[in-house]
Amino acid sequence: MEVLELVAAAKAMQSEYVDEQDPTVRGDWAIQNTGSADWALERVGECEGEADSIEAQYAAAVERLSKRKAELLARAARGASYFRMKLEEWAGPNRASLLKGKGKSVAMLHGTIGWRKKGGNLRVEDKDALAAWLITQPVESGLYRVRVEPEMRALQKWCAESGEIPSGCEFVPEFDEFYVKAEAPEAALVKG
């Protein structure tokens, strides 16, 4: 978002704001001196403290719901696991009568049971050991590939020294960004 868009968005938000502590602070209210600037900083801190309190309340509610969700999902998973095991116990000895011809599954009213081929392929258990082995193989074997990724520190340095900007990049000039860091007042810390 560009600076002008940010200013326009901030002005739109200001026209809707009415302060809870001082209802005269609204819309086009302006800071007049260091006293009102310090009061505004205090309000920033209080508002951010209130937001932190809301986030904490939300996190606590989410944690309670997450625990309940986990309990319910675990119960459902136990039930599904139990019935899958019972289906496998029954289907194994009855496989010949269930499958017709070359079929590997049987459709029933509430689903399908069947068998799939599994395995017969490699599984990487130690990536470092595999990588060490691969680099001993000739490139022509086609057993590995080389990934090209930018080394950003070196690329930044090269651009600064050469003055060139590589394809696919754009230069973002340095600029000063305004910020506000409010100290949370004691009242905001005990709120909630």
Q: What is the pLDDT of residue 131?
A: 92
Q: What is the pLDDT of residue 8?
A: 72
> Please, where are the H alpha helices in 26-94?
34-91
Q: What's the pLDDT at 185?
A: 72
What is the per-residue pLDDT for 11? 66
**What tokens does 151 get?**
């080394």
Domain coordinates of the chain in residue numbers?
Answer: 54-93+184-192
What does the pLDDT read at residue 30?
A: 92
**How confident is the chain (192 residues) per 10-residue block, as mean pLDDT?**
70 75 88 94 93 96 97 96 95 93 92 91 92 91 88 92 91 84 69 52
Amino acid making up residue 65: L
Read off the DSSP letter of residue 143.
S
